[in-house]
Structure 1
């Protein structure tokens, strides 16, 4: 069967989701930096994630009440998803934020914000070489520019503090989140709010338990509330948007769009904390901007074949979803149910989303 489509139906939504995720996370970095001196890093990491989990839990329960008499448009997590989600939480929800908080104690917020671009790079490297996601020369060159910029930012610290432990800690956090992102892609067809809520509650509980075991205590109510709000926006809502972007764009491309986050954070840092960056900072920003531009202007189109696929997710009856129903359907879309994709061969612009994970 051959069909033509000039635009992948989920492309526009995926880009919007990824950029929203980037903006929310980018803004949170300088605010987290402002809290670092008042709270132990591991305690702050726990409060950020707990704020994320609790806020999303309230939204999840309210949504459930509204939809209790309806079928809803989200696919719940299944038992087979738990192994992937558990690994994602351990890497990105426990190890990653602790490393970031320690890194922020030794690194200017503006430079830290740009260093967080390494998350997109490491996410893509893992996606390409471990999880076998497709990439081309343009995408590779864009990531190379971002890597060079990250190295420059790290090297800038060497003359003043010797080994750049702060930068290395932030890069370590980015590696943890790269692992997290690739594992989360495995479950991205499921409810994004449920995924982010579970990650927030588990990661927050584990980090706070570690903090208490080390003898740290909770800060004042006002600081805890501020951390919770930062966590809900910068970790919770951002992660919801990120999971939705993974569903539509694939891991590496989502990471590339998410690379806009550090520029948002850097601008906020310069305005809020009145930092004075040097020439290396601006040169790194230019390199990172060029790398992101290469990703944003990518176009991938070729004839490809879809094999038989049986899965569950929210969908509308587009070119990829032409199937019958074994239940009474009122015609509302999007809707959720297990469905079978028949073999199909066609050509259109696409990203490696949940329906385009084919070989090249």
Structure 2
């Protein structure tokens, strides 16, 4: 996937997820947080798997190595089960507009983990942008007129914890982002949805009225399902930190909907935080990265076209249609061009 298309899919993911936050806020008052989290992901899983079965007309599971199944399982636990529950809890104690802006912390934590744990490269522009987003998040989370035990602060902490879970999820998902995005997102939604719904029922909560169930699952399909498909596609082309940076436009979508559509009031701190975060996002969106680099031999399978990174021969009949998917090998190559830490550019940097 070319960088421009990857950026487009990241922004589409941000738009859908950002819009889902104020809608979830309207539902959380009537539905217990764990139950709502379950229904959101259940809608995602059922919808995506139904579409995948209709599209392919068969049930198939992509080939994954043992370690990749572990990455996927950990991503489901952190991002599909823990993250949404913490967000729903946070939304019971804070406004949708403020929670939306706080979700920018997901991009920061995603990048920190990508740099420190998974060794993606970081330049000055990206680091400064992250610092601005952190400053905005701290400004929102700082207690105003109350101590640490105030409801708003506890809500902010819950949203921040959700961001940490999704940051882990993003980096773990990148490990398996080359596989079928519909399978990955649908499986995560189905497992997380069934798990959280079962937990809610075990705790004694009952399903809400069917119109509320349908509305919750619809919001989940768009904001957590289709959004995740786009996010996975962006991970292939941009890496975790940059995808997270583009995805950090999502909170502004949610904040605008909450303010314009639902008439939520805002404070001076809110607008100051918005300006800091917007400046950080702008730095991310205008970042460019180019240097001489070497590709090591690599064997993997993913949808691709025969660009400068895919010059292999085929040992099977091919009709010439692109993109196509098959197991292929990359031979060593050294060249210079603008690039992101995508699935083909995970090299180390000397600076």
Instruction: Work out whether the TM-score is over 0.5.
Output: yes
Match of 1:242 in 2: 231
* 1:328 shift after superposition: 1.2
Q: Does 1:347 align with 2:336?
A: yes
* 1:39 shift after superposition: 0.5
Q: Does 1:78 align with 2:69?
A: no
Gap change, CA 1:171 and 1:206, over 3 Å in 2:
same
Matches within 5 A, 1:213-252: 213-252=202-241
Give unpaired runs (5+ residues) of structure 2.
none
Equivalent residues of 1:27, 1:268 under 8 A apart: yes
After the TM superposition, which of the residue ranges 159-168 and 104-113 deviates more from structure 2?
Answer: 159-168
For each residue in 1:301-345, what CA deviation from the matched residue of structure 2 results, as whole angstroms up to 9, or x when unmatched?
Answer: 001010111111111100000011111111111111111101101
- Alpha carbon RMSD of aligned pairs, Å? 1.5
Matches within 5 A, 1:163-242: 163=150, 164-242=153-231
Aligned length: 346
Report the TM-score, using the length of structure 1 for normalisation.
0.94
Give unpaired runs (5+ residues) of structure 1.
1-8, 69-73
Give the SS at the match of 2:294. strand
Matches within 5 A, 1:1-80: 10-65=2-57, 76-80=62-66
CA distance in 2, matches of 1:160, 1:87: 35
Gap change, CA 1:75 and 1:350, over 3 Å in 2:
farther
Equivalent residues of 2:80, 2:188 under 8 A apart: yes
Segments of 4+ moved more than 3 angstroms: 160-163
Gap change, CA 1:76 and 1:357, over 3 Å in 2:
same
Q: Does 1:308 align with 2:304?
A: no
Matches within 5 A, 1:105-124: 105-124=92-111
Give the SS at the match of 1:340. strand
Match of 1:3 in 2: none
Match of 1:323 in 2: 312
CA distance in 2, matches of 1:221, 1:158: 40
Equivalent residues of 1:37, 1:105 under 8 A apart: yes
Report the TM-score, using the length of structure 2 for normalisation.
0.96
* 1:161 shift after superposition: 7.0
Gap change, CA 1:308 and 1:294, over 3 Å in 2:
same
Match of 1:96 in 2: 83
